Amino acid sequence: KGRIAYHLYQTEAGRERYRNTLHGLLKELWNEDELLAECDRIEALIEPHLNREQSRFSRSLRGTREFIRERREDLMDETGEAMPSWTKPPKAPPVIAEIGNVKAKFSGEWIEESPREQTNLGKATLQLTLNDKPVELTDVGVHGAWAGGGFGRSKKPTIRFSGRRKSDGKSVSVDISIPEDKFKPADAIESGGVFKEGRGFSFGPLGMQFINGKAKLTKASLEEGDQFKGEFEGTILKLIGMGR
């Protein structure tokens, strides 16, 4: 987000180099006549093929032409004598932070059509910690189903935990996805998924966070009605700083 450029700009030499480079680009490359001629060429090619819903094309192109005509003068007004100050530092870059932990023991049934957030299915103990504080849950259930997919991705076998937060009754879900070829009895299976509080899809503080950890399966099957059994332990992660 421009942190290096910001720090270089704070030095006199950095500002002068920026100024010389900018003026050089304006002199060598910013040819208003050529750019405006290119706008005319594009307009002549495209305009005969526009439909009624694309009537804004001409208005947008007028804005582009105004930008081309005025940009050199605007920049020279600001940088002709000296460079303007840049006082506002850039935003900190987004980071992926560990915000909690999840530990589970489970046994449940594979259900081809997932009932989503239905609780009290199967048998599960689910221990959650968020921001160093334990989260008490009620009505915890578990089942297996195909989930995920979309955006060109294939669905994966997923162990779905659903429950309610004891403090306010809000729904809580944990989805642990396991590669299809790994969904069989084994230790330390690399697994990932999502943790969600409340309903809907969100990256906000009460929205969806990500899970990374390892599963142990002592029983596993992808056939309707078959049982699976195992344990999982992992961390809850969240992207912090996006959109700041």
Domain for residue 156, yes or no? yes
Among the candidates 25, 50, 79, a domain finishes at 79
pLDDT score of 244 more than 70: no
Q: 128 and 33, same structural domain?
A: no
Rounded to whole angstroms, how far apart are CA atoms 102 and 84?
Answer: 51
State the pLDDT at residue 203.
47
Q: 212 and 100, same structural domain?
A: yes
Q: What is the 3-state secondary structure (H, E, C) of 3-52?
A: HHHHHHHCCHHHHHHHHHHHHHHHHHCCCHHHHHHHHHHHHHHHHHHCCH
Q: At what angle do helices 56-79 and 32-46 cross, to 10 degrees?
A: 170
Q: 59 and 131, same structural domain?
A: no
Q: 212 and 104, same structural domain?
A: yes
Domain for residue 12, yes or no? yes
146 neighbors 155 (Cβ within 8 angstroms): yes
In the numeric block, which tokens belong to residue 222?
């992808």
59 neighbors 211 (Cβ within 8 angstroms): no
Q: 217 and 163, same structural domain?
A: yes
Residues 123-132 pLDDT 10s: 999 999 999 9
Q: Which domain holds residue 210?
A: 95-240
88 neighbors 20 (Cβ within 8 angstroms): no
Distance of CA 36 to the CA centre of its chain: 39
pLDDT tier at 9, thresholds 50, 70, 90: very high
Q: 109 and 191, same structural domain?
A: yes
pLDDT score of 150 more than 90: no
Please, what's the b/e burial string for 167-198 (b: 16 or more CB within 10 A of its CB; e: otherwise)? eeeebbbbbbbbeeeebeeeeebebbbbbbbe
Domain count, the chain: 2
pLDDT score of 204 more than 50: no
Rounded to whole angstroms, how far apart are CA atoms 94 and 225?
Answer: 43
pLDDT score of 13 more than 80: yes
Domain for residue 88, yes or no? no
Domain for residue 87, yes or no? no
Q: 160 and 52, same structural domain?
A: no
Residues 108-117 pLDDT 10s: 999 987 776 6
Report the pLDDT averaged over residues 5-12: 94
Domain for residue 85, yes or no? no
Rounded to whole angstroms, how far apart are CA atoms 68 and 75?
Answer: 12
In 3D, which of 159, 167, 232, 178 has the Cα closest to residue 206? Answer: 167
- In the three-class reduction of DSSP (H, G, I as helix; E, B as strand; rest coil), residue 233 is classed as strand
DSSP string for residues in 145-164: EEEEEETTEEEEEEEEEEEE
Q: 111 and 45, same structural domain?
A: no
State the pLDDT at residue 120.
77
Among the candidates 55, 79, 103, a domain finishes at 79
Q: 235 and 174, same structural domain?
A: yes
Domain for residue 198, yes or no? yes
Rounded to whole angstroms, how far apart are CA atoms 193 and 211?
Answer: 5
Q: 146 and 106, same structural domain?
A: yes
Mean model confidence pLDDT for the chain? 89
Q: DSSP letter at 120?
A: S
Q: 236 and 142, same structural domain?
A: yes
Residues 46-71 pLDDT 10s: 988 888 888 888 889 999 999 999 99
Residues of the chain above pLDDT 70, percent: 91
Domain for residue 89, yes or no? no
Rounded to whole angstroms, how far apart are CA atoms 102 and 216?
Answer: 14
Residues of the chain above pLDDT 90, percent: 67
Look at 90 and 31; give whichever has higher pLDDT. Answer: 31
Q: 165 and 62, same structural domain?
A: no
